[in-house]
Amino acid sequence: MIVNPMYIENRSGKVINSCRVVYGYGGKLTLGRGNIKGANLKNADLSEHDLMQMNFSGTNLEKADLSSASLFGANLKGANLKGADLSDAWLEGANLEGANLEGANLKGANLEGANLSGVKINKKTKF
């Protein structure tokens, strides 16, 4: 098992948060219980990544590709997921309280046991 720190930097190069890369395979990462709270991941491609129990609270994930991602138990409280692709994502037990899901694609997503209280949806949100 390879364990290396991964840092997310803002445009000025300042490290804003960190998480641990547990292992990577086939170009996909498995991140173990990381904290990237409040990061700007607009338009990020996180499709098929293992992001279980990650802290994405308050993170900007607008138009991000999270299709087929494993977000089991992830904290997405207050996250901006406007227009994000969450199709076939595993969101079982995830906290989406107050998240913006306007225009998001959740077709085929597993939302069993997820906290959806106060989420923002609109007629463009797909279930």
> Which pLDDT tens digit goes with each residue over 71-104?
999 999 999 999 999 999 999 999 999 999 999 9
CA distance 10 to 111: 31
pTM above 0.75, yes or no: yes
In the beta sheet, which residues pair with residue 1? Answer: none
Alpha-carbon dihedral sign for residues 33, 63, 29, 68: positive
Q: How confident is the model at residue 34 (pLDDT cuts 50, 70, 90)?
A: confident
The domain limits of the chain are 4-29, 30-127
Per-residue pLDDT tens over the stretch 40-79: 999 999 999 999 999 999 999 999 999 999 999 999 999 9
CATH number of the domain at 30-127, please? 2.160.20.80
